[in-house]
Amino acid sequence: MVTLGDYLMVSGLLFTIGFAGAMLRRNIITILMSLELMLNAANLSLVAFSRFQVGANGLPNYHVQVFVFFIITVAAAEVAVGLAIIVALYRSRQTTHVEDLTTLKF
Amino acid sequence: MPLILFWIFATLMLVFGAAVVINRNPVASALNLVVSFLGLAALFMSLDAYFIGIIQVLVYGGAVMVLFLFIIMLLDLRAEKLRRINWPAAAGGIAVALAFFVQISYVVGHFKPAQKTFPPLTRSTIDDVHNVGRLLFDNYNLPFQIIGVLVLVASVGVIVLSRREVP
């Protein structure tokens, strides 16, 4: 049978992949995709905990699923704003490579 | 959920998730991301969260992915040329990610409930849209309205950001 730990490990592995992508890649769009992977890994472990805690009515904990719904909404808004910033950045600098964007570097 | 299906979808999600990070072409990365999200939606449905699985497909597989592909095509990004790799930074990134994964597996390994299987449901969750909706509009009505305002602000902000001439 599938245990809670299996889901948590898969979720942790997906988060690690997204984390490594955000650390290693130098293209802003790919970094944004890696951030999406990390958000979704968090959602997976939340839904696994929701299914794990079956209440007295014999149903999963739906409070967690409402929370996941909010996370998905905020993530969609975040992607829209992030991509708009990338478009504005590309207009002024003609690049999406983070090593070319060092104005704020100390 | 049969064990074999869980591992098929988990492997699908992880392999295509890794392909997102490895691919040099942004279009290929975005298409790999779709498959990864569809595998994740299948995992949500395996956890009896049908509503979350459906909105995962709609929001990520549909809206977010179209947005990513649209921006990549708009900016006309090609596969990035192989630059000189900054080896210390790359090794540091991999080491931090690995250390993070070791910590996660340590915590999950020592978390007692993680060894248990999921308790059976006594009622069907096929109508969980009803249950989530009741909770959303009864208990979480104020956060729901705030999220609505947030999405409005985001869409206005996107229009302001992407105007052609910045004053």
Per-residue CA distances from B124 to A43, B49, B89, B121, B127 (Å): 22, 11, 50, 7, 8
User: Is B36 in CB contact (< 8 Å) with chain A?
Assistant: yes
pTM, entire model: 0.91
Residue range A34-49, pLDDT digits in tens: 999 999 999 999 999 9
Which one is the CATH code of A4-100: 1.10.260.40, 1.20.1090.10, 3.40.1530.20, 1.10.287.3510?
A: 1.10.287.3510
Q: Considering Cα of B134, then B138, then B140, then B143, what sign does the dihedral take?
A: positive
Residue range B55-112, pLDDT digits in tens: 999 999 889 999 999 999 888 777 666 677 778 888 998 999 999 999 999 999 998 8
**Interchain contact, A13 vs B101, CB within 8 Å:** yes
Option in A16, A72, A80 nearest B97 (CB): A16
What average pLDDT does this structure show over A55-62? 87
User: Is A104 in CB contact (< 8 Å) with chain B?
Assistant: no
Q: Give the least confident one: B10-24, B47-61, B120-134.
A: B120-134
Binding-face residues of B in 119-158 toward A, CB within 8 A = 119-123, 125, 128, 131-132, 135-136, 139-140, 143, 147, 150-151, 154-155, 157-158
Which one is the CATH code of B1-80: 2.40.160.150, 3.40.1010.10, 3.90.1170.50, 1.20.120.1200?
A: 1.20.120.1200
Amino acid identity, residue B133? Answer: G
Residue range B108-164, pLDDT digits in tens: 999 888 888 888 888 888 888 999 999 999 999 999 999 999 999 999 999 998 887
Complex ipTM value: 0.90
pLDDT: which is higher, B7 or B122: B7
